Structure 1
Amino acid sequence: MIRVLLADDHQLVRTGFRAILESEDDIEVVGEAADGIQAVDLAGRLRPDVILMDVEMPGMDGLEATRRVTARDGPSVLILTTFDRDDYLFAALQAGASGFLLKNGTPEALTEAVRVLAAGDALLAPAITRRVIETFANPALRQPGAGARLAELTPREHEVLVLMAGGATNAEIAGRLRLGETTVKTHVSRVLMKIGARDRTQAVVLAYELGVVRPGSS
């Protein structure tokens, strides 16, 4: 059973999300928070698998709450917001969020996102992914010392990172490289560790930021 915590300052929004999620046999809403302070507290006490986090909340906003939750190896955080703003998107990723969706999405997209994050993967809406790529593909934004981090990857790990950046799942990577899925999971874990990424979303961002892949590459 996937345990979910809802963090949003609007009761109607939380009620709607609860109804959507609890209509699924494999998802349980274990708590609700009306602000970031409550979200951080409940995350520590209830230990959910995934937190659905609003951005704009009184007291402590969702971005600061995400930073505090992820800093202590807490649950995966899915940012849900009404506002399609780049500053929110990039701040959420920097805070450690594993997913970012707009509230105008479908119930199916929401439940699928929860399952993806609970499985340890990360998720961005396609339009958001394009904006991340366009931003971090700018050579001027690449971090100092990037070459050293990439140099630590083995040739196979480099292949895995390229395929991850292309959106391939573990199963698809296994098929492309003719490897077992368990082996692929091991490679993915090592790639994340070596390049300093928390999850697949940050790995994709770093792949473009570090110039491993370029927009339009296959």
Structure 2
Amino acid sequence: MKIKIIIADDNSFIREGLKIILNTYEEFEVLDTLNDGKEAVDYCKNNEVDVALLDVRMPHMNGVEATKIISEETKTKPMILTTFDDDEYILDAIKNGAKGYLLKNNEPERIRDAIRSVYNGNSIIQDIVLEKIKSNLLETKETETKIDPTLFTTRERDIMSLIAKGYSNKEISKQLFISEGTVANYITSILGKTGLEHRTQIAIYFITGKVD
């Protein structure tokens, strides 16, 4: 069964070019190309779409606003594909439920792999984008956090702090002398308590104390 995709971008050259590229992969079916976020939202509400590729800056409704509605009101997985790596867009898109944030200057194979991964339930944040988030988080005092200390155990807070610093599960396990499986269990517990969906959101939440 093919992965059903829509592309929303106000640049017709880009969206039609991307459609041609993605249609060369047998696993994809590009259902439609759309001009803005509003059209993408309406399409996802009325059709079965697996992954919605959304630009950030679009008229009528931008990609971040569309991501929030699509994430909350449909089964479609929204994914940002843009030329913009502005901090505000990145954080807002992730908070609003984006399952991926990728820049358009990637090779087609990288975009293909990201779409496939998002479809399979993973969250994909491009390295350069993630590094930007991490650098901003690290500018905040390492001990400073606004989370409710009564909601989490000491170990959970330690893990959240390390996630905010960009540590992988493997690195966290070495730092805290526990197994990777135990780290994964703690992360599952943290996600359950907060309603968040992935580690990048945990990092943001640890610093801001806000889920959305």
Question: What is the TM-score when the length of structure 1 is the normalising length?
Answer: 0.74
Q: Secondary structure at the match of 2:149?
A: helix
- Superposition RMSD in Å: 3.4
Q: Secondary structure at the match of 2:29?
A: strand
Q: CA deviation at 1:195?
A: 3.0
Q: Deviations over 1:131-180 (max 9, x none)?
A: 211222424896533423432x9x69x879968964459xxxxxx9486x
Question: C-alpha distance in 2, partners of 1:148/1:98?
Answer: 29
1:86 Cα offset (Å): 1.6
1:25 — aligned with what?
A: 26
In structure 1, the partner of 2:149 is 147
Higher mean Cα deviation, 194-203 or 57-66?
Answer: 194-203
Residue-pair matches, total: 199
Q: What pairs up with 1:10-159 in 2 under 5 angstroms?
A: 10-72=11-73, 74-137=75-138, 138-139=140-141, 144-151=146-153
Does the C-alpha gap of structure 1 residues 52 and 191 become closer, same or farther in structure 2, counting only changes over 3 Å?
same
Deviation at residue 8 of structure 1 after TM alignment: 0.8
In 2, Cα distance between equivalents of 1:75 and 1:167:
28
Q: Is the 8 A contact 1:55 1:61 kept in 2?
A: yes
Give yes or no for contact 1:3–1:30 (8 Å, CA) kept in 2: yes
**5+ residue gaps, structure 2:** 171-177
Native 8 Å contact 2:48 2:76 kept in 1: yes
- Structure 1: gaps of 5 or more residues: 170-175, 211-218
Assess, with a 3 A threshold, how the Cα gap between structure 1 residues 163 and 36 changes in structure 2: closer, same or farther.
closer
